[in-house]
Amino acid sequence: MAENQQGSPEQKQQGQQFNIAKIYLKDTSFESPGSPQVFQGEWAPSTNVELNTRAQKFADAAFEVVLTVTVTTKLGEKVAYLCEVQQAGIFQIDGFDEKTLKGLLGSYCPNILFPYAREAVSDLVNKGGFPQLVLGPVNFDALYAQRLAAEQKQAESAQQH
Q: Please count the other Cβ atoms lying within 10 Å of the Cβ belonging to residue 87.
A: 26
Query: How many domains in the chain?
Result: 1
**For residue 19, which of 124, 96, 86 has the smallest C-alpha distance?**
96
- Domain membership flag for residue 105: yes
Is residue 4 a part of any domain in this protein?
A: no
Q: Is residue 158 part of a domain?
A: no
Q: What is the pLDDT of residues 30-61, one digit of tens each?
A: 999 989 999 988 899 999 999 999 999 999 99
Please state the pTM of the whole predicted model. Answer: 0.85
Using CB atoms within 10 Å of the CB of residue 69, give its burial: 0 to 12 exposed, 13 to 18 middle, 19+ buried: buried
For residue 80, what are the domain limits?
14-153
Give 57-81 pLDDT, tens digit per residue: 999 999 999 999 999 999 989 999 9
Q: Is residue 5 part of a domain?
A: no
CA 78/CA 161 separation, integer angstroms: 43
Residue pLDDT, tens place only, 94-112 = 999 999 999 999 999 999 9
Q: What is the CATH number of the domain that holds 43?
A: 3.10.420.10
